[in-house]
A and B are shown apart, each in its own frame.
Chain A
Amino acid sequence: MGISVPLQRRAGSGAPFSHAALVYAVPCVLALLALPFLSFRPNRIVSGEGVQVWDVAEGWGLVGTAALFVLAGATVLAGRQAARALLGFLGVALAMAVAGAGAKDLMADAPQFARVSLGGGFWLSCAFFALAAADALMRLDLRPLVRLAVAGFVAAALAAALASGWFDSLSLMQEYRANADTFAAAFRGHLILVGGSLLPALAIGLPLGWLCHVSSRARAVAVPILNILQTTPSIAMFGLLMIPLAALVAAIPELRRFGIAGIGVTPALIALTLYSLLPVVANTMAGFRAVPVETREAGRAMGMTRWTLLRQVELPLAAPVILTGVRIVVVQNIGLAAVAALIGGGGFGTLVFRGMGQTAMDLVLLGTLPIIAMAIVATILFDAAIDTMQRRRP
């Protein structure tokens, strides 16, 4: 994969009428008109019948639809980006409220095994409102700390909403209650996979990146190998690693006591570590390479030791690019860790694959949504850190 450098900061703009917002608002309205907002199924397996947004629980349906349309229009007309962001968030909140109320109403007099799932209309309208808000926030060009505060506030509001019980009639929440233990274990497992692969990747990748920067011979050997590793598809990598590990354990059975086995967390961690190496190495190299020659020479000429130069000049200058590599790795591994479930590595993939096996889409969603959430949280945190670093020196 290519080397990615930190995004440049974007200029703020406060156009009173936004063509760009139309791109969110129009599909949002179309999705609400054309696709079912909820889908009702008499039991967990059969396919459901769609419920349009205006057909959900009486009071909520018509008022809610009208309000959603007004909000969508308002995001286009809003005079300030801050207002546009707020309207976007309100749209998401309202769509969720309507969905919760609708589900409660549908389930009130339904058979025991009936399920209410969220439909395309809900997902797409939510997604477009959220994008409108995110777009507006981005154009505001907020300082990193403010951005984190906004993200924290949104996360807290979401958590409070989920805990309130308003959504308990939705099939997604029912799946969560039925699998709460598995969910917690999957969360732990996912964190272990991501964190457990990041540490060795950094421990190997940073020095290796530096080595490849200073020695063209090291570069000529390491980079093609890492390229091939990165090219190997994840399932193949997991599968290939099982074989030597299984052979190893067969040869030295004591290893089993340390939890090493051909299947499970060990091959998953190794595979994720291997995948992380190329981005870390490539970005470390790119970071060091971007240090101007004159700067390095000035440091040397003034009598800095190699170590001082590295610590005081080269590392601080390379840090944003290196951190971008780390962000790429973390986000990438959050996604790849899901595949680890195929070889018993745990993580949210467990829920995804179980859901696919049972054709229970809400279970798939229960596994998928937290993966996406984790990736978004990681992106926000890392971007804030990278931005902070770059802002300190304009």
Chain B
Amino acid sequence: MRRGRLIGLAVALALFLALALQPGLFTPLLSLLVEPGTPLVYTRQSLIALAVWHIAVVASAEAVAVIVAVALGILVTREKGAEFMTLARMTSNLGQTFPPIAVLAMTVPLVGFGFQPTFIALAAYGLLPVFENTVAGLRGVPATTLEAARGMGMSKRAILMQVELPLAAPVILAGIRISTIINIGTATIGSTVGAKGLGEVIIAGLQAGNAAYVLQGAMLVALMAVCFDLAFRSLERRAFA
């Protein structure tokens, strides 16, 4: 199982890098898709640069989302924050009913086009799964375990850092994975509001009716998502051990 995942990760990563660095290699394949004479490789920007931009916006938004969401999750699972639990869960549930495209569209009027609306939308939208899973993970720690920890004289802080968080880690990591995957996709849509990223290639392809562009962009984004998914899953496994 684990071996399969690592091999899958290596293959996906290799394909991704080949496609991003040496798109020329794929021209024989791409030429099957379009009428002769159509440009095959997207050249307005280098693909690897777009990929880096894509990762940068996702990673920066994700970092903010994780810090805020984990902090909030810890807060509402403490005794004093319990009152805010309903509130937080509801906001989070409601938030998840907002489609990513809507979050993106609603941020634009506030901050204009470009990097910012994408960043804000991704950070806001990325919060929800991380928060949900933090709460679920912390609540999932067996009461008997906590009782034992308390009985042994551990301080609240020690219980949180040494017992609760390590036990909740796989669930929290799963939340981060889900959130990252969603955001890699949403960042693609971000190109419609002028953020730099791989979505640009797909949208250019859709607008020009160029299937070669669409395939390139789509493959790159899909491979990127698969790579992150597999990498996170191996991490989750390790967190368990």
A residues near B (Cβ < 8 Å) are 1-2, 7, 10, 15, 18-20, 23, 120, 131, 134-135, 138-139, 227-228, 231-237, 239-240, 242-243, 246, 331, 334-336, 338-339, 342-343, 349, 352-353, 355-356, 359, 361, 364-365, 367-368, 371-372, 375-376, 378-379
Contact = CB atoms under 8 A, between A and B. Distances in A.
Interface stretch (B41-49, B84-92, B145-153, B157-165): B84-92
A356 B193 contact: yes
Contacts of A342: 192, 203, 206
B73 interface: no
B114 interface: no
Contact of B188 (A18, A131, A233, A243): A233
Chain A contact residues: helix, strand, loop or mixed: helix
B108 interface: yes
Interface string B85-111: 011011101101111111001101110
B168 interface: no
Given A236-B221, A237-B218, A239-B202, A379 B105 contact: no
A239 B106 contact: no
Interface in B186-210: 186, 188-189, 192-193, 199, 202-203, 205-206
Nearest to A241: B218
A2 B177 CA distance: 10
B109 A236 contact: no
A135 B33 CA distance: 53
A360 B133 CA distance: 37
Chain B contact residues: helix, strand, loop or mixed: helix
Which of B181, B215, B222 has the most CB atoms of chain A within a 10 A radius of its CB? B222
A368 B121 CA distance: 14
A7 B94 CA distance: 13
Nearest to B193: A356
Contacts of B124: none
A385 B218 CA distance: 38
Nearest to B226: A231
Contact of A335 (B84, B101, B222): B101
Contacts of A335: 97-102
A265 B214 CA distance: 18
